[in-house]
Chains A and B, each alone.
Chain A
């Protein structure tokens, strides 16, 4: 990125030099990039600003929006349900992201230090769940976990581990754990591939030198690989957090939108969705959106700066 910026600075000088040439078609660049930005203004920027406007109104979907100042924001600030939803969202994200990282690093290490047969096929299988519709996966797991005769109950009954069916999704901790499991299952392959891209970029000569000095794989992993992977780890971690803060599909399908049991599956995006589209409180929902936006912007800035500085220190 740093390089691109430099490159374009140089090319701007070239532009002014070449401006008068008859063959200069550089202004065509504007025509080429125009459709992208026009569509972004309509379908991207306008809704963002419109949401901002609505967040200062009491809009119920029927009457015209009435400007009420910062009332909505003050309300979110004191809304226990918002904080509850934020807490749930973060808990379920943590439950998914910890095993995700453990598996991603372990697998990347195995694939990078050893010659594994069928590496491509295994990688593809690990990655597959990431691509499949989250809605379908959630509905599938809903069937597996269903009471009284879902697959998991049948399996546990058959093996004699339990004597009566268990209603898993009515237990808050188990329900949150299930979401964490589904998130792990969906994304560990994706995280693995991102981590692996970083690992393969590390020069093998470093490993060789360490081996000559008598280091074993364990030491190599903790003393060489992990420190060198710090920038990419941070990047993967923060993008996962941004995704986690927006999680919606799995919880919405598992609970039919209610966030039951005891509201422990209600996420921030579910809360703002329900506020707007179930209770027609668009203004308040817009304010919740902006709180979420605020959190995400802060994390994104860290990502952005991290990437920027990462590029600088390398060159």
Chain B
């Protein structure tokens, strides 16, 4: 009898502990998501509404907010610029990182170990340290206010190479490469036809993270782009945020939402792949 009651009590204790745990977990999820929710609702409310009181419900002022903001800065052009830079960066990162990783795995050449160690060291170099030299170099090459210095460096992304190489070590089938070689295919054709498809899961994961990183890039565009026509979304947000006189709060929220929502969509579509890529290393937080 006594024993049975004990077990029952114990069950209850475990049960209430579980409930408490779920409450905490859900509260934390709300803390993580609430700012985005408020961003979305406020993007649809008029500045007057937002300033006069706080509400969880969306309004119907989104078109007006957009017009207000578009008058001050060109959001559409900034969106396009961000998309061009991130898109081309992603393509280059994917192709050339796979090429490099394949080179390390499919071939045995002299000095490979040393060269790979150099790559690991490159992975650790902080980008912000050389901004002065980077800027001066781009100025000398007439690349200031162009997208080239924001796109081309994507060809040498050490973190991406590292991740794809790790994957390639198990996924690359040497016998398929060998038989294609016997069939007379050239080495680059083998890579394009056989290597790339085999590596595509890893390329895909790194492609998503690469796209997001490029979309969020702030410091390099800040240094290199001074022409408002070339601004990316983060630069637009900065300009609006700094402009304290004429505050259209609703428009400000909308501009922030425009820069954030594409990332949220990409994330909710591919969150599994993205979280897989977190442990790729060199992910600074």
Partner-B contacts on A (CB < 8 A): 1, 4-5, 8-9, 11-12, 14-15, 18, 23, 25-33, 35-37, 39-40, 43-44, 46-54, 59, 103, 107, 110, 114, 116, 120, 122-144, 149, 151, 154-155, 158, 185-187, 189-191, 193-194, 197, 239-240, 242-243, 246, 248-249, 252-253, 256-257, 269, 272-273, 276-277, 282, 285-286, 289-290, 292-293, 296, 300, 303-304
Contact = CB atoms under 8 A, between A and B. Distances in A.
B149 A43 contact: yes
B260 A35 contact: no
Contacts of A126: 28-29, 32
A302 B36 CA distance: 37
Q: Chain A CB within 10 Å — which of B124, B158, B279 has the most?
A: B124
Nearest to A100: B285
Interface residues of B, number: 97
B164 to A, nearest CB: 12
A256 B240 CA distance: 10
Contact of A128 (B122, B133, B264): B264
Contacts, number: 297
B187 interface: yes
Contacts of A286: 132-133
A29 B106 contact: yes
4 pairs of A and B residues whose beta carbons are closest in the complex: A32-B103, A29-B107, A50-B133, A51-B133
Contact of B275 (A12, A124, A269, A290): A124
B135 interface: yes
B272 interface: yes
A47 B134 contact: yes
Contacts of B136: 50, 54, 59, 282
A12 B113 CA distance: 9
B129 A51 contact: yes
Contacts of B57: none
B237 interface: yes
B284 A28 contact: no
Given A32-B99, A135-B237, A246-B126, A5 B117 contact: yes
Contacts of B21: 110, 114, 116
Interface string B219-256: 10001000000000110011011101000010011001
Contact of B241 (A139, A246, A277, A296): A139
A31 B103 contact: yes
B128 interface: yes
25 contacts: A5-B113, A11-B112, A23-B181, A26-B108, A29-B109, A35-B156, A39-B155, A43-B153, A48-B130, A103-B28, A120-B272, A125-B29, A126-B29, A127-B271, A127-B278, A131-B216, A136-B233, A139-B256, A151-B38, A190-B283, A194-B283, A248-B218, A273-B131, A282-B136, A292-B129
B176 interface: no
B107 A248 contact: no
A7 to B, nearest CB: 8
B121 to A, nearest CB: 8
A282 B132 contact: yes
B35 A144 contact: yes
Interface in B141-165: 149, 152-153, 155-156, 158, 161
B223 A12 contact: no
Nearest to A300: B124
Contact of A39 (B18, B133, B152, B182): B152
Contact of B238 (A39, A132, A135): A135
A272 to B, nearest CB: 8
A128 B285 contact: no
Given A25-B107, A133-B218, A239-B285, 17 more contacts: A5-B113, A33-B99, A40-B158, A43-B134, A43-B152, A46-B133, A48-B129, A48-B133, A51-B130, A52-B133, A110-B21, A127-B274, A128-B264, A133-B234, A140-B256, A143-B256, A189-B32
